[in-house]
């Protein structure tokens, strides 16, 4: 192919480049192992959200009990508040996962890397 030095782009080359870029941009379906890993990842995320809520509730309750000398009134109260907050956040994650699964089933689309991470347009 001769080089064009007149500064004009080669339309055939541009078309081939666009085709290659489209192939690279297309979402890639996940393998079975990747889907399983993504579900495990979501489960760990939910566990961490619950434990974090409990941890913050414990810390705030313990701190207030130490400050006011009322052991274990605030500790129990804020453990329950932390548990409720952790469950609320965890249920939000489950709802997000359910919406994503419904979207994938509605269009009968294979789950893609973006959908599994929540980075796509699904949420």
Successive 10-residue mean pLDDT values, the chain, 123 residues: 66 91 82 76 93 97 96 96 97 92 72 52 45
The predicted pLDDT at position 103 comes to 85
Length of the chain: 123
Task: Give 3-state DSSP helix, strand, coil % of the chain, rounded to 5.
Answer: 75, 0, 25
Phi–psi pair at 87, nearest 5 degrees: -65, -40
> Structure tokens of 51?
């434990």
Residue ranges covered by each domain of the chain: 31-117
Buried b (16+ CB within 10 A) or exposed e, 27-37: eeebeeeeeee
């Amino acid at each position: 192919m001769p080089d064009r030095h007149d500064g004009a782009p080669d339309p055939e080359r541009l078309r081939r480049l666009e085709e290659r870029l489209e192939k690279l941009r297309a979402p890639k379906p996940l393998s079975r192992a990747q889907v399983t890993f993504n579900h495990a990842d979501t489960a760990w995320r939910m566990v961490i959200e619950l434990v974090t809520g409990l941890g913050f509730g414990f810390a705030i309750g313990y701190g207030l009990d130490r400050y006011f000398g009322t052991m274990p009134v605030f500790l129990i109260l804020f453990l329950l508040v932390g548990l409720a907050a952790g469950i609320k956040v965890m249920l939000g994650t489950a709802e997000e996962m359910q919406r994503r699964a419904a979207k994938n089933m509605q269009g009968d689309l294979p789950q893609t890397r973006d959908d599994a991470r929540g980075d796509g347009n699904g949420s």
